[in-house]
Amino acid sequence: MRHQMHSLALALAAWAVAACAEDCSSLLQARAPVAQYTVVEQQEEIVWNIARGTNYTLQFFSVVPTFGADGNYIALLHEFDPVLSNYVGEHALYCSDASGVHKTQLRVYGREKGIPVSLIFHCDWPEEQSELENFEVFLENEEGKTLGKVAVNHNTPSAKHQSVACVRDVFMLDHLGLDRVNETLAYKHLVEWLEFHLYHGMDHFFVYTFGTVDDVYEEILKPYLLAGAATRIHFKTRPDFHRQRQYWSMTDCLYRSKNHATWVMPTVDRDEYFRVTGPSELFGTPSVPKNYFHTVWDAIVRHEGKRVEDVKSITFDLYRFELPSRDELTISSTMQQAETQVAPFCRGEGKRGWPKFVYNVKNANSVYVHWVHSSVHGTEDLHISPSLGVANHYRSPFDCDKLPANVSDTTLQTDVVALEEALAARFQRNPREFLKYLSHKHPAPDVHESNWFSATDRLTTSWKAALQEYIPVDWFFALPGQMMDQFFLAETGMFDQLKWDDLQMFG
Ligand SMILES: *[C@@H]1O[C@H](CO)[C@@H](O)[C@H](O)[C@H]1NC(C)=O
Ligand SMILES: *[C@@H]1O[C@H](CO)[C@@H](O)[C@H](O)[C@H]1NC(C)=O
Ligand SMILES: CC(=O)N[C@H]1CO[C@H](CO)[C@@H](O)[C@@H]1O
């Protein structure tokens, strides 16, 4: 059945391309192949008696079967929780199908030192069953007692891509938080970002949506789904806070990409554009190849004298750019800061910001926003110089550093005409008018950042407890009521240490 669905998708795509030679609007009206839309339902709660009188409730936010050279297993994805993390460090959990024939112990990832995001369980599964449409995974404790089961539909499209980008859901913080007033540009940014990345050779997008999605959002995504350029993964449940949705998305995207991609760009935001600055070093040509997202990661690995199988990730820095006006493409802005960006909160001179990255899917087991958290032992990160590649980050005002964007860089501006034409062809709208229209539309406001912990009780406990283990000072007891997330950590300088530890330990 999955094969049939796939060939139907191929036939539809072939028909659409043939038709497009005469009338490209038919491409936009074609029905989406079913496989481009995946719905993720919250799993049943599974009660695990972890001590006399203590029940722990497991609830996987997503379950992803994956088969191929990257491994044959079903990935069960759970939010990070130190109680669970500690318990599974000492107690085995087993999985099997209903008959119990291939019972095996789950492997756990995400407990490693560093900033915790998710707890990930791999349940090895026989390769012969890779074509099944539905799986039921039964969990057993050490005594052989069945705890419960998870059920999943095996519905990720079977295509294989060189480069994939994960696209988090759009969100808006409407309180006065730094430059976030401009989150009203969310939809405008999203459409430009998708078009730019496709134009430059990004092979596929995994786009994440949650709960109820408005018409504008649907309108933007539709042509990319119809063209087969994107797969939409829709979570029926919508966590309150955008960062929690981001964690779900980036973890799910990693496992959706296993056996389906080589390189994944997991957390580059819709106002960030990676570009090549050293074409002659990387490609031996004075100009950057148009489809560079398809080729640049391998080129970087070669340039650094490494082998792809020994690399877990490539990290790069960002330059902040001014935002242009609402009817202009973001990349038409040409004024950047002189230095790569500093951390989001001012921490004094010389403090660098955190990088963004792509990872080698085969070697990554869990990821954080700025680097790979857990990876195959012995694989390394390549942090490239801005003279090889860098991201433009269009975001103003420049919250804390106050440095002027006083250096002109027109590199991406040269793409403006081609991208406006691409948007016009895809949406059958005047691109300037379309961008202006989108810039005044925005999703429903998100919860306030400082309400993160009260909005998600479970995360409160997890994070507080986890941070204590990772950070050897009791600074958060001295500051009751203080917001204790990544930004606060940044201010204290603790993040540099964590990042350094992370890179050392797994580098
Ligand atoms: C734990 O769960 C089991 C099985 O669902 C139940 O019988 C037991 O009463 C629970 N114990 C507590 C302390 O909630
Ligand atoms: C840009 O601004 C920075 C910080 O004020 C300053 O040090 C630098 O000289 C300026 N560069 C140019 C090209 O004006
Ligand atoms: C408050 C704020 O940052 N507003 C900016 C949002 O972006 C526009 C450009 O699109 C700027 O003109 C505003 O100053």
Could you report the per-residue pLDDT of 158-206, keeping only the tens digit for each?
Answer: 789 999 999 999 988 654 333 455 557 889 999 999 999 999 999 999 9
Q: What is the distance between the alpha carbons of residues 214 and 184, in angstroms, rounded to a whole number?
A: 14
HSE at residue 447, side-chain half, CA atoms within 13 A, is 16
Asked whether 397 lines ligand 3 (CB < 6 A), one says yes
CATH C-level class of 161-439: alpha beta
Asked whether 29 lines ligand 2 (CB < 6 A), one says no
Longest CA pairwise span in the chain (Å): 71
Q: What is the distance between the alpha carbons of residues 497 and 471, in angstroms, rounded to a whole number?
A: 9
396 Cα to the center of ligand 3, angstroms: 7
Residue 454 has pLDDT above 60, yes or no: no
Asked whether 496 lines ligand 3 (CB < 6 A), one says no
Mean pLDDT in the chain?
Answer: 81
83 SS3 class: helix
459 SS3 class: helix
Residue 386 has pLDDT above 70, yes or no: yes
Q: What is the pLDDT of residue 461?
A: 47
pLDDT category at 489 given cuts 50, 70, 90 is low
Q: What is the pLDDT of residue 260?
A: 95
Residue among 180, 323, 395, 436 whose CB has most ligand 3 atoms within 8 A, to mutate = 323
Asked whether 181 lines ligand 3 (CB < 6 A), one says yes
Residue 266 has pLDDT above 70, yes or no: yes
R_g over Cα of the chain: 23
Predicted confidence (pLDDT) per residue in 70-86, tens digit: 999 999 999 888 788 88
Residue 151 has pLDDT above 70, yes or no: yes
Protein residue with least CA distance to atom 12, ligand 3:
325
Could you tell me if 445 and 173 are in contact, meaning their C-beta atoms sit under 8 angstroms apart? yes
Asked whether 484 lines ligand 3 (CB < 6 A), one says no
Residue 279 has pLDDT above 50, yes or no: yes
458 Cα to the center of ligand 1, angstroms: 20
Residue 56 has pLDDT above 80, yes or no: yes
Q: What angle do CA 60, 66, 69 make, to 5 degrees?
A: 145
450 or 248, which is more confident: 248
404 Cα to the center of ligand 2, angstroms: 7
Residue 153 has pLDDT above 80, yes or no: yes
Residue 8 has pLDDT above 50, yes or no: no
Could you tell me if 190 and 170 are in contact, meaning their C-beta atoms sit under 8 angstroms apart? yes
Q: Which of 419, 469, 484 is nearest to 194 (CA)?
A: 419
Cα–Cα distances in Å, from 471 out to 119, 161, 170, 369, 411?
Answer: 19, 39, 32, 19, 42
**Stretch 310-337: mean pLDDT, rounded?**
93
pLDDT category at 442 given cuts 50, 70, 90 is confident
Percentage of the chain exceeding pLDDT 90: 58
Q: What is the pLDDT of residue 54?
A: 85
Length, in residues, of the chain:
507
Could you tell me if 261 and 165 are in contact, meaning their C-beta atoms sit under 8 angstroms apart? no
Q: The whole model's pTM is what?
A: 0.84
pLDDT category at 32 given cuts 50, 70, 90 is very low
Q: What is the distance between the alpha carbons of residues 384 and 29, in angstroms, rounded to a whole number?
A: 42
Q: Which of 13, 34, 8 is nearest to 156 (CA)?
A: 34
Residue 387: exposure state from Cβ atoms within 10 A (0-12, 13-18, ≥19): exposed
Could you tell me if 260 and 126 are in contact, meaning their C-beta atoms sit under 8 angstroms apart? no
Q: What is the pLDDT of residue 481?
A: 41
Return the C-alpha torsion angle 361, 362, 367, 373, nearest 10. -150
Residue among 45, 47, 54 whose CB has most ligand 1 atoms within 8 A, to mutate = 47
Q: Which residues contact 110 (CB under 8 A, 6 or more apart)?
A: 80, 85, 116, 117, 118, 119, 120, 365, 366, 373, 374
Asked whether 327 lines ligand 3 (CB < 6 A), one says no
Q: Which of 323, 322, 303, 319 is nearest to 311 (CA)?
A: 303
Predicted confidence (pLDDT) per residue in 205-226, tens digit: 999 999 999 999 999 999 999 9
Pocket of ligand 1 (CB under 6 A): 47, 49, 53, 55
pLDDT category at 152 given cuts 50, 70, 90 is very high
CATH C-level class of 42-153: mainly beta
**Stretch 315-330: mean pLDDT, rounded?**
91
- Nearest bound ligand to the CA of residue 330: 3
- Residue whose tokens read 């001179």: 349
* DSSP structure class, residue 118: E
Residue 128 has pLDDT above 60, yes or no: yes
Percentage of the chain exceeding pLDDT 70: 75
Q: What is the distance between the alpha carbons of residues 477 and 484, in angstroms, rounded to a whole number?
A: 11
